[in-house]
Amino acid sequence: MSYVNEALDELYADYFDSAYVEDGIFYNSAEEDWDDEHLKVLFVLKQPSNSDLLGEDYRSYVTDSQIDYSDNPTMTVSTYDTYDKFIDVINKGYGGLDYEITSDSNALVFDKTSGKSYGSDRVHISVDKSKAADGVSNATVSVEQKIGDNVVDTKQIAVTIENPTEQISEKTYVEAGGVVSIEAEHYTDKFDVNGYEWKEEKDFGRRGNTMKAYPETASNAKESDLTNSAAYMEYKVYFTNAGSYTLDVYRMPTLNERGTMRLAVAIDDGTPTVLSGTNKYSGSRSKTDAWSKGVLCNSEKLTTKINVSEAGYHTVRVYNVSTGVVIDKMVLSKNNINSYFGAPESYNTTYNTTKETSTVTEDTEVSGIDKTYEPKAVVGNVSVENNTVKTVDLIGLTENTQNAVVFTVGYDKDGNAVSTAMNKADINGKTTVNVNLALADNTTAYAIYVVDNLTDMQPITPFKTFGKIKSEAEGNYITLKTDFEIFCNPGSL
């Protein structure tokens, strides 16, 4: 890298006769600071293995509703939750990560407000009904990483608080956070029609009991007239949120299925939608074969969509089509949720009024990790206003003053660097670097990189990214691309 910078020094000096050039930095004179307007730099930083601290922002926070890391995590908590929601504070580096959690709402209750994450530390969150506003309200939870008294990073989580004031009638489920999980045997009412009936099967199911359509030897109900020809069960639900829901029905596979096992579902007085199970092995060796998965899991999930026209009371109905069909549970959800067997049973005024108690856990230190990289500082909070990166906080990890060069780079959707700033810094404790980089309109992500100097180009902090950067480089490299056109003919480089 030193050889490259020496070559660039000669190139700059040849182009600017009166310029003073050192370590790839252009000065109008030996005494002046660099001229940001004319300086563009080539910087390639290797992203290390997962065991290294150096790498894309090693502090991550996810909530129970997420399936991936997000720059904008959200969650919903309800006074009718039957289990505590949670926030995972994830440390993707080595060592311990100290954090504190606060909220602007006194209605939110945490099982702990500080901790140390060595890998992943979980914080449970619930709602104090006596302090929550009626209906739906919003709050913000702040998770701060700290080194001593200094705040290194802050992640804010947007929280929706649901506190329905409706007096819920008996045998009624309550939707919370866009989810209703129903145990089949906990129906509000059931109706026998044309000799068909639903009966409870004790201790037959993945969780609790199930409901089975009888008589087993009868012919199937008439699909064209299920509302008049089939037995059905009703489940009364109070919905806080209207809109489209995914309905998953978990049925039990049964032996000797000579035909496809079918059932039907509807909401209120709507037309029933027929759902068909799988009764044949496809011959596929992949693990996506529906029949094989049903046998292995002892449950088959049948899925459809229903629409809840408005908040309030609605009735979910389940009809038999085939006799002998067995239903274990149903789950309605507004968002796509990856789950093995659906959410735990929702609040029901008759069958499920208690809340699962969460155990406070403390993360433990992991030993035996080789430290291949020891940072001298970390990137703290980054202030952005009106699409301009205003300041970057650097937190020193050593007692000595550390010289540094800070690169702030904005990227477009294709990974091209469209905005670049470079600033000197002397890190001693907490140092705030004034950047003032106006990000181009087509910027989709940006990153902060810190090195010791432009001669050695050794990274002294883990780099920190905002948004996803598409890299054209091969392997695990992130590249700060450079345009030298203002200096010379690009063809000569």
pLDDT tens for residues 449-458? Answer: 898 887 777 8
What is the average pLDDT across 112-124?
Answer: 90
**Cβ distance 389 to 437 under 8 Å?**
yes
* pLDDT of 80 strictly over 70: yes
The CA distance from 427 to 400, in Å, is: 8
The CA distance from 248 to 253, in Å, is: 15
3-class secondary structure, 111: coil
Closest to 381 in 3D by CA, of 390, 371, 372: 390
Structure tokens at 309: 């026209």
Structure tokens at 127: 């709602």
The CA distance from 218 to 232, in Å, is: 16
Confidence band for 419, pLDDT divided at 50, 70 and 90:
confident
Would you report the helix, strand and coil content of the chain in percent, each value rounded to 5? 5, 45, 50
**Cβ distance 42 to 449 under 8 Å?**
no
Residues 6 or more apart whose CB falls under 8 angstroms from that of 386 comprise none
What is the average pLDDT across 254-259?
Answer: 60
Q: Could you give the count of Cα atoms lying within 13 Å of 17 in the half-sphere of its Cβ?
A: 0
Question: What pLDDT score was predicted for residue 59?
Answer: 43
DSSP-derived secondary structure for 132-196: SPSEEEEEEEEEEEEETTEEEEEEEEEEEEEE--S-PPTTEEE-BTTEEEEETT--SEEE-BTTB
Structure tokens at 241: 């949120």
Structure tokens at 469: 């950067």
To the nearest whole number, what is the mean pLDDT of the chain?
Answer: 78
Question: What pLDDT score was predicted for residue 260?
Answer: 76
Say how many residues make up the chain: 493
Which spans in 215-367 are helix H? Answer: 226-229, 290-297
Structure tokens at 295: 């046998």
Q: What is the pLDDT of residues 376-405, one digit of tens each?
A: 888 988 999 999 999 999 998 888 888 899
Question: What pLDDT score was predicted for residue 119?
Answer: 85
Question: What pLDDT score was predicted for residue 236?
Answer: 97
Confidence band for 218, pLDDT divided at 50, 70 and 90:
confident
Lookup result for tokens 């006074």: 79
**Cβ distance 10 to 26 under 8 Å?**
no
Confidence band for 134, pLDDT divided at 50, 70 and 90:
very high
Confidence (pTM): 0.71
* pLDDT of 432 strictly over 80: yes
Report the DSSP pairing between strands 402-411 and 445-451: antiparallel
What is the average pLDDT across 412-423?
Answer: 86
Residue type, 301: K
Confidence band for 418, pLDDT divided at 50, 70 and 90:
confident
The CA distance from 126 to 81, in Å, is: 8
Confidence band for 49, pLDDT divided at 50, 70 and 90:
very low
Q: Is 6 left (phi over 0), alpha (psi -120 to 50) or beta?
A: alpha
30 pairs with which residues across the strands? none
**Cβ distance 113 to 143 under 8 Å?**
no
247 pairs with which residues across the strands? 304, 332
Cα-based torsion angle of the residue sequence 444, 448, 454, 456 in order, rounded to the nearest 10 degrees:
-120
